[in-house]
Structure 1
Amino acid sequence: EFKVNDKNVLLNKPLKKIPFPQCSMISAIFRDDAVIIPGGDDIIRSGDRVVIIGKEEAIQEIRKWFEVGNQSKKVLIVGGGTVGFYLVELLRKKDFNITLVEKDLKRCEMIAESLPNIMVINGDGTDMGILEEVNIPGMGAVVSVTNSDEKNLLCSLLARQLGAIKVIARVDRTEYTQLFEMVGVDVAMSSREATINEVLKTTLLKTGIQSIATLEGEKAEVLELTARADSKIVKKPLKSVKFPKDAIVSTIVHESNIIVPDGNVQIQPGDKVIVFTRLEMVSKVEALFK
């Protein structure tokens, strides 16, 4: 997911005129409180957050459109609970330089012992002295994941004031998500939505459809569908399929190959297909796989 600023090269361009690298596509646009499943005539606007699907080499090319100078691999994480600990483990594997701030001394000691080479600071993430000490402007991102929405918001606002490049915050109350982003938080992560997504990953719907994620306050879904031999969508170019307007095929898994499709690709029986769709289009998408 990338955020479009007012100097981005994609600004005010229709998608069909953007030279995306091969094996990549925009699957969703978040604009204000709306989710757009885009077509070729949709235009990228300042403030949009775009979800891009692609192979690793294509994403690396696209990332250059959104980078501001040399992105630092330093990350500050505020909150060393279950979420913070998991995040540190994840980022360590990607060679990020991580600083963690946690208020509980025993928790700090446990994390420092379990995860060597991580700078662990015992203190409050809303303490200006600590935030100034860790050099916020030199961080690629500040991520606040304490169990308090209020503390996460305050920490994020202070980090933004001190010059943070990107600010990410955990929010437990989904109704606060838009508020967080309105006041300058780049990404507000709802733990409730994350929980819903994990439950949905294990819940198979009829016709081999599995909902693997909800998007933006449950306004849209990411579906995994398995094509059958008698499915209406198989063995014909995607451009000839009457696909619902607010749904898009973003990825096809054919045997062991991952395909980011264009209009000429054909879905084969047994393929697993990832579809981004608005909720009201789920039944129409389902019908194509019957």
Structure 2
Amino acid sequence: MRTWNPQLEWEAQRMKIVIVGDGKVGYNLTKQLSKEGHDIVVIDSNKDVLQESVETLDVMVVHGNGASLKVQKQANVANCDLLIAATSADELNMLCCIVARKLGDAHTIARVRNPEYAEQLIFLKEELGLSLTINPELAAARETFKLLQFPSFLRRDSFAKGKVEIVELILREGGLLDGQKLSELYKIAKVNVLVCAVEREGKAYIPDGNFCLQKKDKIYVTAPSHELTSLIKHLGLVTHKVRDVMIIGGSRIAYYLAMSLLGAGVAVKIIEQRRERCLELAEMLPKATIIHGAGANQEVLLEEGIRETDAVVTLTDMDEENLIVSMYANHLGVPKVVTKINRTEYTEVFRDKGIDCVISPKQITANDIVRYVRAMQNTSGGSVLTLHRLVDDMVEALEFRANATTRHLGETLAQIQLKKGILIACITRYGKVIIPRGNDTIELNDTVVVVTTSDRLYKDLNDIFLDGPVPANTYGTTDPNRS
């Protein structure tokens, strides 16, 4: 029987969601959406993986081909709100969505990975009945490219159409922020930024101005995108520019990433074990250097110049291989190492081994789809525009748009009563980025970035406001990093 977490701030409107495909992406989606209180039916042709979902998650399952009319009827797709097709076959995913739209009026999301389909999807999106298409590999490549642009950051999450970012930094012993109170941040950084979350010894904090930073803290800083270079400079962070990148594994992510890097004038070398794939990559990426060899082989890595490269990105299909190569690259002193990991539940263990900069295609996909689902639930406007999870999923950063139904428009943040544990990290107004202070306001059509712990599920900007007396320290949650 489904139980509801009493700590949740609101009980979501349950939606009926059918997920086709119970692989890594499908299972992660099932886990997250089930946790948020939705009724989930999973379709898969593999009985073993379905059995695992039944045993570990509160979901219904249907065995069979997700594109089959009979199977979709058995899963009651005609009466569902959303169908997500996340199998490993693009064509099957698109067919699943077509059948679902014929059966009922459900929203449909398809996982489509083949770059050759990109143009067709834009052309045929309406005919296929697709509400949203997701390409985990392309999204992972874009995130990796952003990390390579600013090697000092462990992570970069964008809001307000790229005008605002939350970046992750680790504090080194003796650094400018070691031992400093957040109220002193502006004097040190000389840039109008805000620390919206801190990870310390496996715990997440949404800090106030009295919070004192320590070495080894991981801090999440909200800043205008155009100020990132100044932030790095004033904090005395390493500014090593990436001019050449070694990619281990010739996956689709490697192809997408190489295209972006080559377009930016960065030299690319890809090491791939499969000869056939090497030939494909050589044809698709004539400006890249393609090496046929085992990426986990120490001799191959040394011979291909891993010691001299500016960055190593491990993109094989095996987490273990990615971890080993990344640890070796860190050991050799490679300035920037990015590791693709699917089993994110072990991230804390990985970090103890020096694996700080991690990307997870399945997690990126889940975040995009959860954002879409929360927007579907919203009936009053002001729904979630962007959603990113921080601090090993313990914290969420959500972007909302203020509309005519949003309460407290025009009131100063010092006057607004917020629920406990809420931080307003940023306001964007007509393209201008505002790192908020107590005398700032929320106005019509503003976008607002809100940070909170992930056990509080918010789907509307109005959900963050507190009805009733002002609790102690409420103002501290809106303006935490200033005295």
Give the TM-score taking structure 1 as reference length: 0.88
**Aligned pair partner of 2:211 in 13, 34, 42:** 42
- Over the aligned positions, Cα root-mean-square deviation in angstroms equals 2.6
Cα distance between partner residues in 1 of 2:213 and 2:296: 35
Aligned residues of 1:224 and 1:272 also touching (Cα < 8 A) = yes
The one-letter code matched in structure 2 to 1:224 is: E
One-letter amino acid of the counterpart of residue 235, structure 1: G
Contact 1:174 1:190 in 2 (8 A): yes
Kindly state the Cα deviation for residue 247 of structure 1 after the two structures are TM-superposed: 2.8
Report whether the alignment pairs 1:287 with 2:463.
yes
3-state SS of paired residue (2:351): helix
Q: Does 1:201 align with 2:371?
A: yes
Q: Distance between the aligned counterparts of 2:328 and 2:366, measured in 1? A: 30
Asked if residue 58 in structure 1 is aligned to residue 198 in structure 2, the reply is no
**Structure 1 residue 173, shift from structure 2 partner:** 1.1
How many pairs are equivalent?
290
Measured in 1, the distance between the counterparts of 2:302 and 2:225 equals: 35
Shift of 1:172: 0.8
C-alpha spacing 1:137/1:24, structure 2 compared with 1 (3 Å): farther
Distance of aligned partners of 1:30 and 1:273 in 2 relative to their CA distance in 1, 3 Å threshold: same
Task: Answer with 1 or 2: which has the greater Rg.
Answer: 2
The question of 1:161 aligning with 2:336 is answered: no
Q: Measure how far apart 1:155 and its partner are.
A: 0.8
- Distance in 2, matches of 1:22 and 1:68, equals 17
More strand by share: 1
Q: What residue number does 2:269 align with?
A: 99
**C-alpha separation between the residues in 2 aligned to 1:110 and 1:212?**
35
* Aligned with 1:182 (options 352, 363, 379): 352
| 1:225 to 2:394 alignment | no
Q: Hey, what's the Cα distance between the residues in 2 that align with 1:171 and 1:250?
A: 29
Per-residue deviation at 1:230? 4.6
Q: 1:105-125: per-residue Cα shift (whole Å, max 9, x none)?
A: 222222232233322222122
Q: Which residue of 1 aligns with 2:422?
A: 247
Structure 1 stretch displaced more, 121-130 or 205-214: 205-214
Secondary structure, counterpart of 1:136 in structure 2:
coil
1:4–1:73 Cα change, 3 Å: farther
Kindly report which structure 2 residues correspond to 1:46-195, keeping only aligned pairs within 5 A, or say none. Answer: 46-64=215-233, 65=235, 67-68=237-238, 70-195=240-365
Instruction: Look up the SS of the partner of 2:440 in the other structure.
Output: coil
More off after superposition, 54-63 vs 199-208: 199-208
Letter in 1 for 2:383: I
Q: Deviations over 1:257-284 (max 9, x none)?
A: 3333333321102222121211234459
The structure-2 alpha-carbon separation of the partners of 1:70 and 1:221, relative to structure 1 and needing over 3 Å to count, comes to closer
* Structure 2 letter corresponding to 1:202: Y
1:7 is the counterpart of 2:183: no
Contact 1:23 1:261 in 2 (8 A): no
Cα deviation for residue 99 of structure 1 reads 2.2
> Identity across aligned pairs (percent)?
26
The superposition leaves residues 152-186 of structure 1 with CA deviations (integer Å, 9 ceiling, x where unpaired) of 11111211222222322111112221111111112
Give the aligned partner of residue 113 of structure 2. Answer: none
> Which of the residues 264, 268, 274 maps onto 2:439?
264
2:350 match: secondary structure:
helix
**Native 8 Å contact 1:126 1:158 kept in 2:** no
The secondary structure found in structure 1 opposite 2:455 is helix
Cα separation, partners in 2 of 1:264 and 1:111, compared to 1, 3 Å: farther
The equivalent position to 1:32 in structure 2, one of 201, 225, 245, is 201
Provide the rounded CA distance (Å) in 2 between the counterparts of 1:61 and 1:158.
Answer: 32
Post-superposition CA distance 1:71-114 (Å, at most 9, x none) = 44332221221222222233334443322222222222222322
Give unmatched runs, 5+ long, in structure 2.
1-167, 467-483
